């Protein structure tokens, strides 16, 4: 009788110990996933920061172009100035087109990274 009771107690203890080990393993898996998510979030934040800086630089350059256009408008309309203005306008148009493409690409990348960041935040919150 004692031996049977001892077997039951031992098997109950083993079952409880295994259940605790499984819980610990699950907690470790969750902790590792949270760590990976945090690293990925830091990486995405870094990319977002650089893209925001690029957009700010582009906006500064656009304001410089507008300022130059205003100065050019103030000048007289001699033939040489007219040719220079036409040349300037073509350069500005090509620069503006390039900047518009760059801004569009940067905004698309910001949107994509923001979406990924939100997904990872949701993932981390769900893990917690």
Q: Answer yes or no: is pLDDT of 21 > 80.
A: yes
What pLDDT is stored for residue 4 in this prediction? 58
- Tell me how far apart the alpha carbons of residues 128 and 122 are, in angstroms, rounded to a whole number: 10
Q: What are phi and psi of 34, to 5 degrees?
A: -65, -40
pLDDT at 18: 86
Of 1-5, 68-72, 82-86, 97-101, the least confident: 1-5
77 DSSP 8-state letter: -
Residue with the bigger pLDDT between 38 and 128: it is 38
Query: For 89-119, how does the pLDDT look when each residue is reduced to its tens digit (9 = 90+)?
Result: 999 999 999 988 988 998 898 888 888 888 8
Q: CB-based burial of residue 99 (10 Å sphere; 0-12 exposed, 13-18 middle, 19+ buried)? A: middle
Q: What percentage of the chain exceeds 90 in pLDDT?
A: 12
Among 1-10, 69-78, 110-119, the minimum mean pLDDT is found in 1-10
pLDDT band at 86 (very low <50, low <70, confident <90, very high): confident
């Amino acid at each position: 009788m004692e031996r049977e009771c001892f077997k039951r107690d031992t098997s109950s203890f083993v079952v409880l110990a295994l259940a605790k080990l499984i819980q610990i393993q699950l907690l470790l898996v969750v902790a590792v996933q949270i760590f990976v998510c945090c690293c990925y979030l830091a990486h995405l934040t870094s990319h977002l920061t650089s893209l925001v800086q690029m957009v700010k630089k582009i906006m500064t350059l656009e304001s410089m172009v507008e300022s130059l256009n205003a100065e050019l408008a103030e000048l007289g309309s001699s033939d040489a100035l007219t040719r220079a203005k036409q040349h300037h306008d073509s350069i500005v148009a090509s620069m503006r087109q390039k900047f518009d493409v760059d801004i569009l690409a940067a905004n698309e990348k910001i949107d994509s990274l923001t979406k990924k960041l939100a997904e990872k935040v949701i993932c981390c919150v769900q893990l917690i």
